Amino acid sequence: MPSTSRYPSDLTDAEWAVIKPLLPKPKTGGRPIQYCRRDILNGARYLLRSGCAWRMLPQDLPPWGIVYHYFRTWTRDGTWQHIHDQLRTQVRQQHAKHAQPTAAIVDSQTVKVGEQGGPCGYDAGKKIKGRKRHVLVDTLGLLLGVVVTAASVQDRDGAKTLLTRVLGWWRRLQVIWADGGYAGQLAVWVKAQRPFGKLHLEIVRRDAAVVGFAVLPKRWIVERTFAWLYKCRRLARDYEQLTAHSEAMIQLAMIGLMVRSDSGRWSSSSSRVRGFVAICARRAWTGSSCAPTTMDTKISRTAKNMSPASRAPSIRS
């Protein structure tokens, strides 16, 4: 099947050149390959971006069974994780940052579920029945780790599960920022993971005197990552029966974001969003409100002409 651009979710030639070397080599022997891997990736990206069911993939893409087979296989053997990690390292290097971050932000997001089976619970705080996504991101908003649990799991317990999985990967990590929901014994537990190191949990609290919306230092970064994920309609809810597949869908969404960076198409959703992000970054670090000013207008205009590396927030790596 020819690899032509049919849908906005299809990989461009530049994006395919970036991601092709990261895919596993085809196995020798057996039946000849009928569908190229670019088309298979396009099928998975179409499903993720449009939010359709597997069986509703368009006929000009590979059959849904083929696309699902590769999605499930690459989830089991860690291919999605490998591609995601390699792209994250490249993007961090583009922004003049070390591959190993020293600072991160942890947070969770509760979403409803579809009619499929699998883990499900009730989040009494959000009053939502579904699942909870526990994520750890760096100061660029790139994913360092993700764990999907039932929504009934407390944020602190989910953070322990997440950090237990990923702390061995990030040996240079020194500070983890979190909101007030993570206060308490979690800080003691984090310190106990490296009793002789600098790793610690720092709670970023909301100013009680502030009324209405306010951008909080560090915490706005992970909220922006959640906004990136919501651009994929498949992630508006959790439609996967297995939590491993839910985590793979999140990784695939971040792969789509980062491959645009490596192919020269980086935009945290176009220049309008880049301008707003620059404003929020400035406001977050000065502690002022988000009301637009003349200076904000200048920042927004300047952000459109900045290179990807210079647009990165000037915060800890």
Residue 285: inside a domain = yes
Residue 184: inside a domain = yes
Q: Are 209 and 284 in a shared domain?
A: no
Q: Are 274 and 236 in a shared domain?
A: no
The predicted structure's pLDDT at residue 86: 96
The predicted structure's pLDDT at residue 29: 81
Q: Are 111 and 231 in a shared domain?
A: yes
Residue 288: inside a domain = yes
CB 264 within 8 A of CB 17: no
Residue 186: inside a domain = yes
Q: Are 131 and 232 in a shared domain?
A: yes
Q: Are 234 and 274 in a shared domain?
A: no
Q: Are 109 and 224 in a shared domain?
A: yes
Q: Are 275 and 203 in a shared domain?
A: no
Owning domain of residue 286: 270-304
The predicted structure's pLDDT at residue 272: 42
Q: pTM, whole model, 2 decimals?
A: 0.81
Q: Are 127 and 168 in a shared domain?
A: yes
- d(Cα 257, Cα 252) in Å, to the nearest integer? 9
Residue 140: inside a domain = yes
- d(Cα 204, Cα 222) in Å, to the nearest integer? 13
How far separated are the first and last CA of the chain, in Å rounded? Answer: 43
Q: Are 108 and 236 in a shared domain?
A: yes
Q: Are 176 and 288 in a shared domain?
A: no
Residue 5: inside a domain = no
The predicted structure's pLDDT at residue 3: 52
pLDDT mean by block of 10 residues, the chain; 317 residues: 72 94 87 90 96 94 96 96 96 94 96 90 93 96 96 95 94 93 92 91 82 78 94 95 96 95 53 45 46 46 45 40
Q: Is beta strand 128-137 parallel, antiparallel or unpaired with respect to 103-112?
A: antiparallel
Q: Are 203 and 292 in a shared domain?
A: no
Q: Is beta strand 121-123 parallel, antiparallel or unpaired with respect to 128-137?
A: antiparallel
The enclosing domain of 212 has a CATH number of 3.30.420
Residue 255: inside a domain = no
- Number of structural domains (the chain) is 2
- d(Cα 196, Cα 149) in Å, to the nearest integer? 31
Residue 58: inside a domain = no
Cβ-defined contacts of 213-219 (< 8 Å, 24+): 213/290, 214/289, 214/290, 215/280, 215/283, 215/284, 215/290, 216/179, 216/284, 217/284, 217/285, 217/287, 218/105, 218/139, 218/177, 218/284, 218/315, 219/105, 219/107, 219/177, 219/179
The predicted structure's pLDDT at residue 5: 64
- d(Cα 282, Cα 275) in Å, to the nearest integer? 11
Q: Are 284 and 192 in a shared domain?
A: no
